[in-house]
Amino acid sequence: MQLLDGKKLATEIKLEIAEEVRKIKAAGKKIPHLVAVLVGEDGASQTYVASKVKSCEEVGFKSTLFKLKKDITENELLTKINLLNNDDSVDGFIVQLPLPKHINEEKIMLAIAPEKDVDGFHPTNVGRMTLNLPSYVSATPKGILEMLNRYNIETEGKHCVVIGRSNIVGLPMSLLMQRRSKPGNCTVTICHSKTNDLAKYTLQADIIIAALGKPKFLTADMVKKGAVVIDVGITRVVDASTKSGFKLLGDVDFEHVQKKCSYISPVPGGVGLMTVVSLLQNTLSAAKEEFYKKSMSFGLDEL
Instruction: Give the interface segment with ligand GUN, choosing from 8-16, 54-62, 88-96, 172-180 (CB under 6 A).
Output: 88-96
Q: Which is nearer to ligand GUN, 164 or 261 (CB)?
A: 164
Smallest distance, Å, CB 140 to ligand GUN?
A: 6
Instruction: Give the interface segment with ligand GUN, choosing from 80-88, 91-99, 144-152, 283-291 (CB under 6 A).
Output: 91-99
Classify residue 241 by its DSSP letter: T
Instruction: Indicate if 52 belongs to the active site.
Output: yes
Q: Which is nearer to ligand GUN, 94 or 212 (CB)?
A: 94
Burial class (CB in 10 A: 0-12, 13-18, 19+), 23: exposed
Out of 65, 97, 199, 203, point to the residue binding ligand GUN (CB under 6 A): 97
- The one catalytic residue in 5, 91, 117, 119 is 119
Out of 5, 91, 115, 119, point to the residue binding ligand GUN (CB under 6 A): 119
Q: Cis peptide leading into 98, omega within 30 of 0? A: yes
Q: Which is nearer to ligand GUN, 167 or 262 (CB)?
A: 167
Name residues contacting ligand GUN, limited to 31-50 (CB under 6 A). none
Q: Report the DSSP pairing between strands 261-264 and 246-249.
A: unpaired
Instruction: Indicate if 204 belongs to the active site.
Output: no
Write the DSSP string, 51-96: HHHHHHHHHT-EEEEEEE-TT--HHHHHHHHHHHHT-TT-SEEEE-
Smallest distance, Å, CB 163 to ligand GUN?
A: 17
Q: What is the distance between the alpha carbons of residues 284 and 60, in angstroms, rounded to a whole number?
A: 11
The kind and range of the H/E element at 170 are helix 170-178
Q: What is the distance between the alpha carbons of residues 196 and 109, in angstroms, rounded to a whole number?
A: 32
Contact between 65 and ligand GUN per CB under 6 A: no
Do residues 90 and 56 make contact, with C-beta atoms less than 8 angstroms apart?
Answer: no
Q: Which is nearer to ligand GUN, 18 or 97 (CB)?
A: 97
Phi-psi map region of 274: left, alpha, beta (phi>0 left; psi -120 to 50 alpha): alpha
Instruction: Indicate if 119 belongs to the active site.
Output: yes
Instruction: Give the interface segment with ligand GUN, choosing from 65-73, 89-97, 188-196, 200-208 (CB under 6 A).
Output: 89-97
What are φ and ψ of residue 9, in 5° steps?
-65, -45
Q: List the strands of the sheet with 62-68, edge to edge.
A: 62-68, 33-39, 92-95
Q: Which is nearer to ligand GUN, 24 or 95 (CB)?
A: 95
What are φ and ψ of residue 36, in 5° steps?
-115, 135
Site string for ligand GUN, 155-174 (x = CB under 6 A): -------------x------
Out of 78, 139, 161, 248, point to the residue binding ligand GUN (CB under 6 A): 139
Count of residues in contact with ligand GUN, rule CB under 6 A? 7
Binding residues for ligand GUN, per CB under 6 A?
A: 94-97, 119, 139, 168
Active-site residues: which are they?
52, 96, 119
